[in-house]
Amino acid sequence: MMTTKLSNVKCFIMAISKEQKLLDLIRTVIFCHYRILGLGNQLDAMSGEVPVWNILKSIINQPLTVPDLAKERGVSRQYIQKFVNSLVADGLVEKVHNEQHKRSYLIKATNRGADTFRQMNEDFLDAVTPLVKTLDKKEMELADNTLKQLTESIAGFESL
């Protein structure tokens, strides 16, 4: 009987520990997010361009709809629509007919958008090169996979 109670307490502590680790991970991601934004703000060439790069990266190889872009980011369709409208006005993206949906256009990078993306990507790669020296490639892959799983889990939780 004593072993069962001790075993139950041990399992409870392990469950709390796993949940606490997840909270620690989320907190670290939040802090990392702000550091990345700070890095972007420190680099004049990138200031304010991170959202542009992010949208262009999503559509550089395959056009997506505004709802797809919004879902991918966990933000409202209206928020993305306003941003896409400014990218259209700047000539970086264009709306193209979507055969699968009459009212939801596909958002596609223009030639100018593709060139802008390539230049921005080179600038970002130059900026992160010093960071690469401090990180192990396998650890980065593990962290990337873990964050992708967390993102999918959160997306699944949000749809409940």
Q: DSSP readout, 12-65?
A: HHHHHHHHHHHHHHHHHHHHHHHHHHHHHHHSTTTTTTHHHHHHHHHHSSS-EE
Q: Write down the domain spans for the chain.
A: 1-42, 47-158
Cβ proximity of 116 and 75 under 8 Å? no
Chosen CATH of 47-158 out of 1.10.1040.10, 3.30.70.1350, 3.40.50.1110, 1.10.10.10: 1.10.10.10
| pLDDT tens by residue, the chain, 160 residues | 555 565 555 555 555 688 888 889 889 999 888 887 777 665 544 445 668 888 999 999 999 999 999 988 888 999 999 999 999 999 999 999 999 888 899 999 999 999 999 998 888 888 788 888 888 999 999 999 998 898 888 877 765 5
pTM value is 0.67
Token pair for residue 33?
Answer: 């997010």
